[in-house]
Amino acid sequence: MARALELARRGQYSTHPNPAVGCVIVKDGEVVGEGFHPKAGEPHAEVFALRQAGYKAIGATAYVTLEPCSHYGRTPPCAEALINLGVSRVVAAMVDPNPQVAGRGMRMLQEAGIKAQSGLMEAESRAINPGFIKRMESGRPLIRIKLAASIDGGTALANGQSQWITGPEARADVQRLRLESGAVITGADSVLMDNPSMNVRPSQLPTHIELPDNWHHPLRVVVDGQGRLSPDLKLFQIEQPILLASHQPSRHNWPAHVDCWQGPKLSDKLDLNAIVAELAERQVNSVLVESGARLAGAFIAAGLWDELIVYQAPKMMGDSSRGLVHLPEFSTMSEVPEFKFKDVRRVGQDLRLTLVRAES
């Protein structure tokens, strides 16, 4: 199973919206077939492993990082392929949270007389596809909010200057976060302030990442309620898909890669729940919010987040600098939102703090 997990990880930047899955087929203590799912629309992990195993699959054990599927999706059911090719035992790391499968694959195998169990190295398997699992289990994507600040919480000087607070290693780590995300969301404030491109730049990724040729570019999402952005900005010059979200129609003519999406208003602003629902509809598994203090605060206040990732630089910007997140004023400490550190580590000269809900 450890080997199957290793194989699964090879697909982690290209299977969107599908999960990354690996499979190893073992016969008489020897590996006879290996495979992983490379891309949605292409065969699943089991099919590649079965092809390699050929007749040796008869009486063999298949280790799969996800329950074999039971449905006709873009490809036929893997449970059927395992049955037809004579595998006698299937060990899965976890049940597929996709409601179209959800235990039916295991049942199909058992009904065909195959010994089928799940739960081996489950935590490791879940860690490979957190976004897919979140969307399948809750109907909305996993939402991570990235923030960067000085040790005293400054994110920009009073004059707006903010580049660069954190060092090159932290910025490379942010490139990795983008690569892991189905969509990256930012707001008009940040776009007007920094003129960012919001894309993944392979040359700026951490050196340990092996990027496959068919890697998935995250959908860039820009929240522009007031319609303040114009097509000449840098991010619109890059011909990768952009979703431009507003609660009112746009006045501009946008190039074909910019999809203008109009959503409902909630207290005079675009309803963030509606954007998140739209992204789930578009099969986005995980979202990275990379925005200014207002939009980040709005996501937090709406409860639309799973992880806060805060990069903290060993610098002081003083109390005339701008703060990390805009939240309403609190009058007692009991109202102040509390979080829990899930992970704390050093990235280059900076710290990376990962926070989750206090009650999780």
The binder of Zn ion chosen from 7, 57, 62, 78 (CB under 5 A): 78
Answer with the entry of Zn ion, ligand AOF, none that 98 interacts with (C-beta below 5 to 8 A by kind): ligand AOF
**Which residues inside 69-98 make contact with ligand AOF, applying CB under 6 A?**
69, 73-75, 78, 96, 98
Query: How many other C-beta atoms can be found within 10 angstroms of the C-beta atom of residue 341?
Result: 10
The count of residues interacting with ligand AOF (CB under 6 A) is: 18
Nearby residues of 286 by Cβ (< 8 Å), 6 or more positions away? 130, 131, 134, 141, 142, 143, 144, 180, 181, 182, 183
Answer with the entry of ligand AOF, Zn ion, none that 96 interacts with (C-beta below 5 to 8 A by kind): ligand AOF
- Please report how close the Cβ of residue 33 comes to Zn ion at its closest, in angstroms: 15
Answer with the entry of Zn ion, ligand AOF, none that 66 interacts with (C-beta below 5 to 8 A by kind): ligand AOF
Written as six digits, the tokens of 40 are: 């949605």
Instruction: Provide the b/e sequence for 154-171 (b: ≥16 CB within 10 Å).
Output: bbbeeeeebeebbeeebb
For the question of residue 46 being annotated catalytic, the response is: yes
221 lines the binding site for Zn ion (CB under 5 A): no
The binder of Zn ion chosen from 5, 23, 69, 114 (CB under 5 A): 69
7 or 272: whose CB is closer to ligand AOF?
Answer: 7
Q: Does 44 appear as a known binding residue?
A: yes
- Over 84-119, what HEC string results? HCCCCEEEECCCCCCCCCCCHHHHHHHHCCCEEEEC
Q: Does 229 appear as a known binding residue?
A: no
Q: Which helix (H) or strand (E) holds 27?
A: strand 22-27
**Whole-angstrom Cα Rg for the chain:** 23
Written as six digits, the tokens of 25 are: 């087929």
Written as six digits, the tokens of 113 are: 């007389």
The binder of Zn ion chosen from 16, 27, 44, 135 (CB under 5 A): 44
CA distance 303 to 289: 13
Q: Does 205 appear as a known binding residue?
A: no
- Please report how close the Cβ of residue 37 comes to ligand AOF at its closest, in angstroms: 3
40 lines the binding site for ligand AOF (CB under 6 A): yes
Nearby residues of 243 by Cβ (< 8 Å), 6 or more positions away? 183, 219, 220, 221, 222, 259, 261, 278
Q: Does 164 appear as a known binding residue?
A: yes
Written as six digits, the tokens of 165 are: 């607070």
43 or 263: whose CB is closer to Zn ion?
Answer: 43
95 or 274: whose CB is closer to ligand AOF?
Answer: 95
The binder of ligand AOF chosen from 16, 37, 220, 247 (CB under 6 A): 37
Answer yes or no: are the C-beta atoms of 49 and 56 closer than 8 Å. Answer: no
Q: Give which of 52, 86, 49, 84 is closest to 66, Cα–Cα.
A: 49
Stretch that binds Zn ion, among 39-47, 114-122, 137-145, 286-294 (CB under 5 A): 39-47
The binder of ligand AOF chosen from 5, 53, 57, 66 (CB under 6 A): 66
CA distance 153 to 130: 29
CA distance 296 to 223: 12
Q: Does 127 appear as a known binding residue?
A: no
CB-closest chain residue to ligand AOF? 73
Catalytic residue selected from 6, 30, 46, 210: 46
Q: Does 295 appear as a known binding residue?
A: yes
78 or 258: whose CB is closer to ligand AOF?
Answer: 78
Q: Supply the residues annotated as catalytic.
A: 46
Binding residues for NADP(+) are 148, 164, 194, 292-298
Binding residues are 44, 69, 78, 148, 162, 164, 178, 194, 201, 290, 292-298
For ligand AOF, the binding residues (CB under 6 A) are 18-19, 21, 37, 40, 44-46, 66, 68-69, 73-75, 78, 96, 98, 101
For Zn ion, the binding residues (CB under 5 A) are 44, 69, 78
